[in-house]
Amino acid sequence: MHLEPLGAPQFVTQEPIMIADEIEKLKRLHDSGALTQDEYEKAKQRVLSGGAASSAGDRTAAAVNRFRLSNTDRWLGGICGGLGTLTGVESWVWRLIWVALLLAGGFGLFLYLLLWIFVPRAE
């Protein structure tokens, strides 16, 4: 019986194998005529660059991490001012959205309170 030593877990990345598999699938599709040469080249480049989905996911995560409650543009908690800063949409528009959500069953109040509690304040 072979026992592993205690310590940090060892992770083996399988990304190169996945990329090679994806390129092989694209090659088979191209060879069968399902993809044109131009489509094949674009899809291959997208696989090699990490794909558009991961970059969109990275941008979304970065935006969520930048979200902060506003200290200057606030009526109650600063959530609408923070959303305005994050999205580039005026804070009064966000206030109208919150009122509409509040009137549509009270979900806006619940969400506003959660954001007020969990989102950090801008420094």
Whole-angstrom distance, CA of residue 79 vs CA of residue 95: 9
pLDDT(58) > 80: no
Q: In degrees, to the nearest 5, what angle opens at C-alpha 55 toward C-alphas 49 and 58? A: 140
User: pLDDT-based confidence at 11, cuts 50/70/90?
Assistant: very low
The full set of domain ranges for the chain reads 15-63, 67-118
- Supply the pTM of this predicted model: 0.49
Residue 43's pLDDT is 84
Residue 17's pLDDT is 58
Whole-angstrom distance, CA of residue 102 vs CA of residue 114: 14
Q: How many CA atoms lie within 13 A of 116 on its CB side?
A: 12
Residue 94 CB neighbours (<10 A): 19
